[in-house]
Amino acid sequence: MKHTTIIALLSGPDQPGLVSMVSSWIFSRGSNIHHADQHKDTEANIFFQRVEWRPSGDIKEESTAFKEFASQELGMEVKVALSTDLPKIALLVSKIDHCFHDTILRFRAGEMAGQIACVISNHKSLQKAAEAYGLPFIYLPIDTNNRADSEEEQLKVIQSYGCELVAMARYMQILSDDFLARLALPVINIHHSFLPAFAGGKPYHQAHSRGVKLIGATAHYATADLDEGPIIHQDVTRINHRNSVEDLVRKGRDLEKSVFAQAIRLHLDNRILVYNNKTVVFD
């Protein structure tokens, strides 16, 4: 049987002895480190650490105490989670359904340390499918006149379900700066190109037109600058002159599914730290 562990993600100004102070704190409580990984950006002078340990005593007390220790004594930004946590996720979809099905099936297969709380869409196309999976489906149509109202509604839904993550499964709407700021939650988007190549719309058409020999997919945190957010994961596949745009779309679906899933998994496993519009991924 697997024991519940505490996972801490730390970042902050580098200083001598951080690894020692963190590990000694854990050891001094009789607890046992299972994994620890750290990174320094020597130019930016920032220290990053992911440490996972099995607590000796009360897990809630120990995780709270660690949080205090890391933030107050070490001056680090810190996030603490338990390996048994199952944070709630809002899935944003439009009509395209491959990432929708793939993501939900992975959660149902137990691959993901979280739970899909609701599906939000600007179309009704996937309502039946979502409900067949037993998931609440919230239809929030968006057009140029109601964008602000619709986002207001989205915000309420996401908050009412207690979501801690938003995942855009090929959601075909841009999230406004205001929405992202007020949401104040991580949002993972999947873009169907190897960014920064072919940002913007119709990347498979762009790729076909440019005659590249590889197509890609990029999962990134959504920011106010479209397709400019911190990249979490990328992958590519080979194409050739025989492939039409439709072939690229089909081949790309497999990339999008696996890259999106991998990014969500890494996030839920508390393996990602963001700084300077980049990610540290402790995989």
Tell which one of 50, 170, 192, 233 touches its own copies (CB under 8 A): 233
Q: Which amino acid is at 159?
A: Q
Specify which residues 6 forms β-bridges with.
53, 82
- Does position 37 interact with its own copies (CB under 8 A)? The reply is yes
Region near its own copies per CB under 8 A, out of 69-77, 87-95, 176-184, 226-234? 226-234
Shortest approach of its own copies to residue 150 CB, angstroms? 28
CB-CB contact of 215 with 202 (8 Å): no
Structure tokens at 191: 């873009």
- Does position 36 interact with its own copies (CB under 8 A)? The reply is yes
Tell which one of 27, 44, 201, 202 touches its own copies (CB under 8 A): 27
| String of contacts with its own copies for each residue 133-172, x by CB under 8 A | ----------------------------------------
Task: Say which residues have a Cβ less than 8 Å from residue 82's Cβ, sequence separation at least 6.
Answer: 4, 5, 6, 7, 59, 63
d(CA 25, CA 8): 13
- Identify residues 167-196 at the interface with its own copies (CB under 8 A): 194-196
Query: Nearest Cα to 137, choosing from 159, 120, 158?
Result: 120
Tell me the angle at which helices 98-108 and 245-268 cross, rounded to the nearest 10 degrees: 30
Instruction: Select 104 or 142, whichever has its Cβ closest to its own copies.
Output: 104
Distance of CA 106 to the CA centre of its chain: 15
Active site residue 227: yes
Q: How many residues does the chain have?
A: 283
Q: Which of 41, 58, 97, 227 is the catalytic position? A: 227
CB-CB contact of 36 with 27 (8 Å): no
d(CA 161, CA 73): 35
Instruction: Select 163 or 222, whichever has its Cβ closest to its own copies.
Output: 222
- Does position 211 interact with its own copies (CB under 8 A)? The reply is yes
Three-state secondary-structure class, residue 132 = helix
- Does position 97 interact with its own copies (CB under 8 A)? The reply is yes
- Does position 231 interact with its own copies (CB under 8 A)? The reply is yes
> Rule CB under 8 A: which residues touch its own copies?
16-17, 19-21, 23-24, 26-28, 30-40, 97-98, 101-102, 105, 109, 111, 132, 194-198, 210-214, 216, 230-236, 240-242, 250, 253-254, 258, 276-281, 283
Q: Which residues are catalytic?
A: 227
